[in-house]
Structure 1
Amino acid sequence: MSKALVFAAYGGPETQELVERPAPAPGPGELAIEVKAAGVNPADWKIRAGQMGSHWPLPAPMGREASGVVTAVGAEVENFAVGDMVLGLAAKGQGTFAKHTVLDAAQTVQKPEELSFADAAALPVAGAAAYDVTHQIELEPGQTMLILGAGGGVGLMAAQIGNVHKFTVIGVASAAKQELVESTGATFVASGEGAADRVRAIAPEGVDVLIDLVGGQALRDLAVVAKDPSVIISTADPTTVQQLGGVAVVRTREGLEKVTGVALYGLVDPQVTDRYSLDRAAEAVAMVEAGHTAGKVIIEP
């Protein structure tokens, strides 16, 4: 038997429970793994709360990303074998807050031996998104990249990637995240009323790309600092960004492969700051849901 955190109904934390279940078997195009570490993301509690639709069959397993060791290989899967160390995204209907899970082989890559399981588990969601969103529009060294939501997992890695490419990075986040944002080499701007004016003071001619990780009114307020609406890219609010003349991020498998290499060479730090056992997975989710994290939260079964 194996353990997994599931939610039995859409709603608050009270709908979550740790259950015993058989270890899941992989279907075609899938890999079964023994989970070594799983990353916690805001999407995990938003799915449970019903903010991302209600199409998950209940009870639904929680968690989207993990690293671990392959225990079984499904049909039609090439380039993976039992015993491989990997990192990737959960297969449809599966969750990663578990002792064993199943990953989508098309969204999984080999884990370099030198990269820890904890750091690897922080990459499939936030790391890959950061790589994709920072490479969707080509910039030259010295050009300006503005990140709205720079204090979260995606934002911190996007800022580090921007610094590697020698972009001028401006990070908008809450005041509590200032030190963390500045540790990436970005110039910090406090979020909230007047943020656009504060950005203008740093980049009076506007920014060459605006990466939105927040959406909503915050995106609308900052859109005016983009040199052209077409350079606004959002991971959080495809409807609003398209209304403004920008585009949603295009996710790629290459993003996960590339960011894994970048992390391996120490050019990006996934900023793992908090680790919880599987028995305390509910606490890990609560910490992210409350917005109290100053880095990446990891569950280690």
Structure 2
Amino acid sequence: MKAVSYRAYGGPEVLEYGELPKPKVGPDSVLIRVRAAAVNPVDWKAQAGYLDPMLDAVFPVVPGWDVSGVVVALGADTPEFQVGDEVIGYVRKDVLSGGTFAEYVAAPVRTLARKPAGLTFEQAAGLPLAGLTAYQSLKAAGAGEGDTVLVHAAAGGVGTFAVQLARHLGARVIGTASERNHDFLRSLGAEPVVYGEGLAERVRALAPEGVDVVLDLVGGGVVHTSPEVSAEGARLVSIADGDVAALGGRLLWVRPDAEDLTALAHLAEQGVLSVEVAEVFPLEKTADAQRLSAGGHTRGKIVVTVD
């Protein structure tokens, strides 16, 4: 099969496009013919070796955890799916090895849900990891109706889902973003503010009593502004800064969860969630897709398609 892989840690330059063996299918997995795979920052961070303390790499590594595609073969015990089913998945395994930037990926059924009707394969590929991160972050924070939620990096891949999900829960949303993305955030139902110096004052101007929930989706120390903008008893969740624990919050690492992913798929089918696709690359241009992702200024998802 055609695949993108790397044989040593490094940047986009270590990626190779070529032939690799088709993956074997375990008893609780299915084989997916990949139609699209989304790029996430964790892909190039893992490729650079940042996850080495927690995940072993089995070289050559095919990167990628997000996928949309079609089931073409079944494991010995996979009653959840049939050949021909269109599926999406956050296919994170216990090692870095057989990822989604390939013609085929073997995916445990615990990582999969049915593809939302009405979404293209490109849109659907952008839903799993980022959508689950937003969904599980809001769940961990106990966000709900009447809350004021501050979302850092609200126009990013995770942030756009967090805004939509929080609004669906009945929360008021304040989102940080560059000025060029403010109209976009307003279209999602958020009240935008510019990040950077003076952020706490700008948030307090919108929410004088403080916010009830803070989601740090960007890192870089923004979590330390939380005491200045939070109401008493506010809940703080970060996906990017371990200092959150010292502030009484939670560091969240998104988990594959078929039930949560199915819930997201249903919300997408109902029109509650839209998926913003920033740019699409062919599989052989995955390195270029990574470079764009690493730039950090993309609105929505970067997607790789497999012909």
TM-score by length of 2: 0.91
Q: Which amino acid aligns with 1:101?
A: V
Of the three residues 213, 217, 223, the one matched with 1:213 is 217
Q: Which amino acid aligns with 1:149?
A: A
| Unaligned stretches of 5+ residues in structure 2 | none
Moved more, 205-214 or 107-116: 107-116
- Output the CA distance in 1 between the equivalents of 2:153 and 2:297: 14
Of the three residues 285, 295, 299, the one matched with 2:300 is 295
Say if 2:251 is the partner of 1:248.
yes
Moved more, 163-172 or 250-259: 250-259
Deviation of 1:110 (Å)? 1.4
Deviation of 1:182 (Å)? 2.5
Moved more, 132-141 or 86-95: 132-141
Where do 4+ consecutive residues of structure 1 move more than 4 Å?
none
Deviation of 1:199 (Å)? 0.7
Deviation of 1:11 (Å)? 1.7
Q: Which amino acid aligns with 1:244?
A: L
Say if 2:222 is the partner of 1:222.
no
Structure 1 counterpart of 2:150: 146
Structure 1 counterpart of 2:39: 40
Structure 1 counterpart of 2:8: 9
- Output the CA distance in 2 between the equivalents of 1:16 and 1:155: 28
Structure 2 counterpart of 1:126: 130
- Output the CA distance in 1 between the equivalents of 2:186 and 2:198: 20
Of the three residues 193, 199, 213, the one matched with 1:189 is 193
Q: Which amino acid aligns with 1:127?
A: G
- Output the CA distance in 1 between the equivalents of 2:187 and 2:27: 43
Structure 1 counterpart of 2:277: 272
Say if 2:35 is the partner of 1:58.
no
Moved more, 33-42 or 225-234: 225-234
Deviation of 1:25 (Å)? 1.9
Deviation of 1:200 (Å)? 0.9
TM-score by length of 1: 0.92
- Output the CA distance in 1 between the equivalents of 2:188 and 2:121: 22
Q: Deviations over 1:181-210 (max 9, x none)?
A: 232111111111221111111111111111
Q: Deviations over 1:28-65 (max 9, x none)?
A: 32211100111111111111112222622222111111
Say if 2:202 is the partner of 1:198.
yes
Structure 1 counterpart of 2:290: 285
Conserved? CA contact 1:196–1:224, under 8 Å: yes
Conserved? CA contact 2:144–2:171, under 8 Å: yes
Deviation of 1:229 (Å)? 6.1
- Output the CA distance in 1 between the equivalents of 2:251 and 2:116: 30
Please tell me the root mean square deviation across aligned C-alpha atoms, in Å: 1.9
- Output the CA distance in 2 between the equivalents of 1:121 and 1:262: 15
- Output the CA distance in 2 between the equivalents of 1:273 and 1:149: 16
Moved more, 21-30 or 199-208: 21-30
Q: Which amino acid aligns with 2:218?
A: V
- Output the CA distance in 1 between the equivalents of 2:178 and 2:220: 16
Q: Which amino acid aligns with 2:7?
A: A
Secondary structure of the corresponding residue to residue 200 of structure 2: helix
Secondary structure of the corresponding residue to residue 179 of structure 1: helix
Moved more, 284-293 or 203-212: 284-293
| Unaligned stretches of 5+ residues in structure 1 | none
- Output the CA distance in 1 between the equivalents of 2:17 and 2:202: 46
Deviation of 1:91 (Å)? 5.2
Please show how residues 17-32 of structure 1 align to structure 2 within 5 Å: 17-32=16-31
Conserved? CA contact 2:114–2:265, under 8 Å: no
- Output the CA distance in 1 between the equivalents of 2:143 and 2:108: 32
Taking only the aligned residue pairs, the percentage that are identical comes to 40
The count of residues paired between Structure 1 and Structure 2 equals: 299
- Output the CA distance in 1 between the equivalents of 2:234 and 2:157: 25
Conserved? CA contact 1:36–1:67, under 8 Å: yes
Structure 2 counterpart of 1:83: 84
Moved more, 173-182 or 142-151: 173-182
Of the three residues 220, 237, 261, the one matched with 1:233 is 237
Secondary structure of the corresponding residue to residue 57 of structure 1: strand
